[in-house]
Structure 1
Amino acid sequence: MNERELLAFVAVAEHGRMDLAAKALGYSQPAVSYQIKCLEMTLGAKLFVRTSSGVTLTRSGALMLPSAQAVLTLMRGIKATTGDLALVA
């Protein structure tokens, strides 16, 4: 699993639709769908139930969402810290 997959997962969970998540991330809708598919394959679990009106989190997806959000927050913190260190060096 990687940062792009987690970003796509959180965006889809927050927007409830792949196309809106893609627009928010600046990705294409197929790219977001692919990231979700890869993440589901890595985890061996379905994260969303897809419907004609959008998506909803499965139980596994709902359980994973807070952890994915926390990981992304940590990653942003690391990037900010290393960016600050680069300015000092």
Structure 2
Amino acid sequence: MHEREFRAFVSIAETGRMDVAARQLGYSQPAITYQIKCLERSLGFKLFTRHPSGARLTGDGQMILPSVRAVLMLIDGIRDPHGNRSGEHTDEEAPAGTALPMVRQRTA
């Protein structure tokens, strides 16, 4: 499972169309279709039913959508730990009260 597959999944779920999701994400429609097929293969179940008018979430797809959104929020938070897109904090220290403790690996 990859981030791009999760983003494709959420975009299709929100738009109901693979072609629209592909445009939003800057991919071709075959690339989006491939990403969904890879995700479905990894998970072991179908995420969408395809129709001429678009794509609809299956029951399994509906069930995992909140979790996938949460994973993407975590990824976005890791990329921008201060939650600001404007780059307010450019120094290497986190503002007071927001730093997480460092986890040290044990050496054997």
Q: TM-score, normalised by structure 2?
A: 0.76
Identify, as 1 or 2, the structure richer in helix.
Answer: 1
Give, in angstroms, the shift of residue 86 of structure 1: 8.0
Give, in angstroms, the shift of residue 88 of structure 1: 1.4
User: Residue 81 and residue 41 in structure 1: after superposition, are their counterparts in 2 closer, same or farther (change >3 A)?
Assistant: same
The ranges of structure 1 where at least 4 consecutive aligned residues each deviate by more than 3 angstroms after the TM superposition are 84-87
- 1:71 equivalent to 2:63? Answer no
Q: Which runs of 5+ in 1 are unaligned?
A: none
Give, in angstroms, the shift of residue 29 of structure 1: 0.6
- 1:88 equivalent to 2:92? Answer yes
Aligned residue for 2:46, secondary structure, equals coil
Q: How big is each residue's C-alpha offset from its partner over 1:31-51, in whole Å with a ceiling of 9 and x where there is no partner?
A: 100000000000000000000
Q: TM-score, normalised by structure 1?
A: 0.92
- 1:57 equivalent to 2:57? Answer yes
- 1:22 equivalent to 2:26? Answer no
Aligned residue for 1:35, secondary structure, equals helix
**Which letter maps to 1:49?**
T
Q: Distance in 1 between matches of 2:24 and 2:92?
A: 33
- 1:6 equivalent to 2:6? Answer yes
